[in-house]
Chain A
Amino acid sequence: MTVLILTCEEDVTADMVVVHLNGAGVPVVRLDPADLTGGVSLSGEYVHGRFRGHLSAGGRLVSIGGLRSVWVRRPGSPAERAPQPSAWLTEEASQALYGMLRGCDARWMNHPDAARQARHKPWQLRLAQRCGLPVPATVITTFPRAAREFAERFPDLVVKPVSGAHPQDPPRAVPTSRVAPDTDFSAVAYGPTLLQRRIAKRADIRLTVVGDVLLAARKATAPDADPQVVDVRFAAPGPPWEPVEVPPRTADAVLDYMRRAQLAYGAFDFAEDADGMWWFLECNQSGQFGFVEVETEQPIARTIAEWLSRPVPEEPTEPAGSVTTAR
């Protein structure tokens, strides 16, 4: 049984997992859906009540029925590198590839439906609340007045994109940024705006979850850190990431989140305050982990490889006379 990895060629983080799969002797096929119909080919037949499908990439041929797991890492848009790419061809290629894969019994990291849902940051905040994780006071609004009133209640605020996406025309980044108390909020009317109470953090926490395994790392806030810079991705390097234990209540809540979100993998970001409380910021369903592993030597890649290597669970055989229920 083969592990299928959907990612781009330059994804060296996926390589970290492939190395472990190779070491364990687990067959791997790695392809980028962007290379349909160039270096990647597919075929599937629905005949006589059965399905037989195959994928081919890099001289390797794999039966879709022979997949034990599918890891959706950093795939390109299907057929985007085809000789004559188009939105129509991408949709055709997407339906063909993911439609066939969805019909197989392989385990997913993460299933496309779960991944799509999990990308919604407002949904993340609500799920985190339901799971008992502390969530900083947040408003998402297009009403300037609501933003002003929120700022009066919580004067120390940050703003960040609702989606986590960044504008591309031209390419820009929108880091989580502090908002001055006397800010003019009139532009809130021109786009949904996410304002959140700033957590005065003494550390950033990146908690990587693989199945039911929790691997947390902590990056202390440097004593001389610029208080205006709140987004760790834009901060000076500062202290290194170091392994840290997960508080038991946080661990329970995070595993509850993973179950409810139907995620096999998640990278949680927390801000640790002066009391040691971990405040939920977001859960990236395909978050990077390589930068944590290379600094902490935590076995994240190995844990992912082990999860992907597990055999496909056998379909339970139904006893005679049993009632079939929808699932």
Chain B
Amino acid sequence: MQPFALNYARPAVELAVATPYAYDSGLQLNVLGDGRIAACDHALLREVGTTTSTAGSKTHFDD
């Protein structure tokens, strides 16, 4: 009784990497431990993959 498309489902992979930044409500930006703005470090964003189009996310299905 399973819909056809679910024959092709696989377990969703959640990001296991802990992001090395935290939200600063004063700046309205995520900042690194040394105070730098995370969004300005493109090498870091590439590494952590948090700006990447994903599949299987609970909330973001239109990536």
Contact = CB atoms under 8 A, between A and B. Distances in A.
Nearest to A289: B51
Contacts of B14: 171
A94 interface: no
A294 B44 CA distance: 9
A171 B10 CA distance: 9
A294 B8 contact: no
A286 to B, nearest CB: 5
A227 to B, nearest CB: 16
Contacts of B23: 9-10
What secondary structure prevails in chain B residues at the interface with A?
A: loop
B42 A294 contact: yes
Interface of B: 1-14, 19, 21, 23, 25-26, 28-30, 37-40, 42, 45-46, 49-63
Interface of A: 5, 9-10, 12-13, 15-16, 18-19, 28-30, 39, 58-59, 74, 76, 119, 147, 159-168, 170-175, 177, 185, 187-188, 190-194, 206, 231, 233-234, 284-291, 293-295, 297, 301
17 contacts: A5-B28, A10-B30, A15-B38, A28-B28, A30-B28, A159-B8, A160-B5, A166-B9, A167-B9, A174-B6, A174-B55, A190-B1, A233-B55, A287-B62, A288-B51, A288-B52, A291-B53
